[in-house]
Structure 1
Amino acid sequence: MSIFTASKERATTGLALIAGVLIIGIIDNFFLMWLFLGVVYLLAFKEAMSLFDIKKNDLIYYAAGLWLIAAFYPYSDDLFVLAGVIYASAVAFNRELTWKNFFVFIYPTAGMLFIFSMYQEYGVISLFWLLVVVGMTDVGAYAVGKSIGKTPFSATSPNKTMEGVVGGVVVATIGGMFVGLGIVDLGISFIISFMVAVGSIFGDLFESSLKRTAGVKDSGNILPGHGGMLDRIDGYLFGAIVMLVLLRGLV
């Protein structure tokens, strides 16, 4: 595949994703949002199983059941803790069970439940805020890194530079704090935007470490030109947890 064809494919997929997310956000229907995030979650869950080298394929049914409960339970992120208690009890009871199988109920499950909880508590504007901060972190880091980046950031992701990371965080903080004014005041919005931007950097880095360990370039191939679902949402999975925790603690 030529560079031109690959770039065109990436751009087409990217525009389709943006259009789909905007349409769902504008409609702002609880069931539609639950369904959309559920599809994203299960696709990411399946990819995470592969990255963690988990062979127990029936875990996807437990994930689907957990997401179904989230539609009716008002504090979705609590279900992640409950799942941990249940699995710890099962491990204590059955010594043949392994903790590795629970990794997918931490990542990406926790992040997706926090995203859904944030929608339940703070509405679609909070998801738009998250989208802007993480998106601007990625774009800012790429632009600044390509133009002036020289200092390596982490061996986990050799293409990232310290200059790019700082540039991305600065751009996202400034842009995101204005979106956050729809929920909080300027000072709190600045703090949350900054912390979410930093969190998204490490969300991306964490997924890179999983792929490096698994020996793969992408988490999957479901999104032409972009790789897998986890490749697109890695920053959001960490960013959402940071944002919801800070919203609850500072507002």
Structure 2
Amino acid sequence: MLKARVITAVVLLGIFLPVLWLAPLIWLGALLALVITLASWEWWRLLFPNNKKRAISYAGICLLNLATWFMYAGMDAVQLLLWITLGFWIVIVPLIMKQSLEFDLKKWRWPLVISGLFIFPACWFALMYLRGISMTLFLSVLVLVWVADIGAYFAGKAFGKNKLAIRLSPGKSIEGAVGGCILVLIIALLGGLVLDNVELFQLNYFALLTEKLGWLGMVAITILCVAMSIQGDLFESQLKRIAGVKDSSHLLPGHGGFLDRIDALLPVLPVAGLIVILITQ
């Protein structure tokens, strides 16, 4: 398993890093669109575990929807898309998660199918908007989510005693979540205090928040983003448990599926994208 994880990670980095650093921006957009399309394919398979044949059709519809937004939607429409997606994560998802494993997926399948047509394009637009402003801005938002996950893992291993949501994800603990949040806040403080004075890092997410909203605003939004990343992870865990599967797919040996890799990003990106839009207008 470890060997498969390492090989898969190396292959993915070998594809992603050259496209990110060396290729024209449109190549990054195409690569991210591929990831989003495969994640939407997995989304259907979680919602319809006994009817996976139409997953390819749904993924195609999501890609077509993304292409339509890209070609015809203006900035105001994209901003509306991000608001709708944010509303899904802060209103609808908590209601679903409150029901834990008693959640009746049969009644919610089609609303969630429709929601996916907003969730995945919103993720793509947020990423591309951040990258269009600055590579550092783009990477710092990703780092926020990755550091929260890494910090939660190690803090949970070392100190975890109280389960965060034992029925949805038995391995996650409150101590782990707090540890992940603390590690992100340390990175955020460094980003706002130190890295904004280095030319390469002038447009990192934390420095931008500090400049526009002050230290308190930066800390508050950082904590919100960490909380949203945890929510995304737990929500996918809920859907997987109800569907009776361990991973969203087996497309990434040792890692599960693409949805497993981006579940924490899905709710964070609309928040980060909207905040950047609002404070830079």
Q: Shorter-chain TM-score: which interval?
A: 0.7 to 0.9
Aligned residue number for residue 115 of structure 1: 127
Tell me whether 1:45 sits opposite 2:45 in the alignment.
Answer: no
Q: 1:198 aligns with which of 212, 219, 227?
A: 227
Once residues 16 and 31 of structure 1 are traced to their aligned partners in structure 2, the CA distance between those partners, rounded to angstroms, is 21
Using the TM superposition, give the Cα deviation of residue 59 of structure 1 relative to its aligned residue in structure 2, in angstroms: 2.8
Q: 1:64 to 1:29 in 2, by over 3 A?
A: same
Aligned residue number for residue 68 of structure 1: 67
Give the number of equivalent residue pairs.
Answer: 232
TM-score (norm 2): 0.73
Aligned residue number for residue 77 of structure 1: 78
Native 8 Å contact 1:34 1:116 kept in 2: yes
Once residues 140 and 204 of structure 1 are traced to their aligned partners in structure 2, the CA distance between those partners, rounded to angstroms, is 14
Native 8 Å contact 2:66 2:121 kept in 1: no
Using the TM superposition, give the Cα deviation of residue 82 of structure 1 relative to its aligned residue in structure 2, in angstroms: 11
Q: 2:179 aligns with which of 167, 171, 176?
A: 167
Partner amino acid, structure 1, of 2:67: L
TM-score (norm 1): 0.81
Partner amino acid, structure 2, of 1:40: V
Aligned residue number for residue 6 of structure 2: 11
Aligned residue number for residue 157 of structure 1: 169
Tell me whether 1:124 sits opposite 2:139 in the alignment.
Answer: no
Helix, strand or coil at the partner of 1:157: coil
Deviations 1:114-156 (A, max 9, x none): 3233334x33322201111111011100001001111100131
Using the TM superposition, give the Cα deviation of residue 245 of structure 1 relative to its aligned residue in structure 2, in angstroms: 2.2
Partner amino acid, structure 2, of 1:141: A
Once residues 15 and 193 of structure 1 are traced to their aligned partners in structure 2, the CA distance between those partners, rounded to angstroms, is 29
Deviates more, 1:177-186 or 1:220-229: 177-186
Deviates more, 1:144-153 or 1:181-190: 181-190
Native 8 Å contact 1:177 1:193 kept in 2: no
Q: 1:17 to 1:173 in 2, by over 3 A?
A: farther
Once residues 177 and 131 of structure 1 are traced to their aligned partners in structure 2, the CA distance between those partners, rounded to angstroms, is 16
Aligned-pair RMSD on alpha carbons?
Answer: 2.7
Partner amino acid, structure 1, of 2:157: K
Deviations 1:87-136 (A, max 9, x none): xxxxxxxxxxx54541321443433333233334x333222011111110
Unaligned runs of 5+ in 1: 1-5, 85-97
Q: 2:150 aligns with which of 136, 139, 145?
A: 139
Native 8 Å contact 2:5 2:254 kept in 1: yes
Using the TM superposition, give the Cα deviation of residue 210 of structure 1 relative to its aligned residue in structure 2, in angstroms: 1.1
Helix, strand or coil at the partner of 1:77: helix
Aligned residue number for residue 92 of structure 1: none
Structure with higher RCO (Cα < 8 A, 6+ apart): 2
- The structure in which a higher percent of residues are helix is 2
